[in-house]
Amino acid sequence: MSKNVMIISSKETFMIKGLIMKLSESGVNAYFTSEDVEELKEHQEETELFVYYLDEIQPKTLIYLKDLCLETHRLVIIIGNPLEYEEAIKYLPESHIHRFFERPLQMEPFIDNVNKYFNDNLEESRKRSILIVDDDVSYMRTIRDWLRDDYRVSMANSGIQAITWLAKNKADLILLDYEMPVTPGPKVLEMFKSDMSIKDVPVMFLTAKGDKASIVRVLALKPADYILKTIDRASLHNKIDSYFINNAF
């Protein structure tokens, strides 16, 4: 994995140049980008981690980072003072923030944290990737917390968001809610099957209905399997672990 860090700020100050130099000395490729969204777009594809050095709040930039992190599963380190941080999280949710460092910046802990981020990501990248698609965010978080120690788990709360995520990321398995209200699971599966890049990704349906007629309807769509939403943590692990063991390639 390449170690590419984008440092965002209003201007390339002496402090920013010092950050770039120290990161480079530790084996991290860091580069400066202004807060202009169009400039961010030019370099976002090769960037694994964003560092935002705040000196004034730019809502447009923070909102763009929020959307980018949601789509690509990347994170932001914020450097600033506590008041700036409180203002920033009005636009960029804390779920997209890897760490907050207060100014004046302690350089050694910052460099150590960046390197730890890449080392952890290297370990994480070796895990199987699971995408959960469900309109119930609370339920998704529970399943993610149950699985995250052994799998790389991402979440999407709609079929469209899942397709957007899958366009830039790889999943080894999709857990798809059968009963979503706007675009139900069967329709989302149909969308997946019509996309050549993701049509072969295995899908397990998540369903709240365990009666025979409901299960027959689920299985008629030929998913890899189905999971009742009443499943407990150990049983869920066993089902998914067994699937990957039996379908190793």
> Which pLDDT value is given to residue 134?
93
What residue spans of 73-171 are helical by DSSP H?
Answer: 82-88, 107-125, 137-147, 159-166
Express each pLDDT in 106-164 by its tens digit: 999 999 999 999 988 877 777 899 999 999 989 999 999 999 889 989 998 898 889 98
> What is the set of domains in the chain, with CATH numbers?
4-124 (3.40.50.2300), 127-246 (3.40.50.2300)
Model confidence at 193, in pLDDT bands (50, 70, 90)? Answer: confident
- Residue 235 backbone dihedrals phi, psi, to 5 degrees: -65, -35
The per-residue pLDDT of the chain, averaged, comes to 90
CA dist 104 → 15, 40, 98, 107, 147 (Å): 10, 25, 19, 9, 38
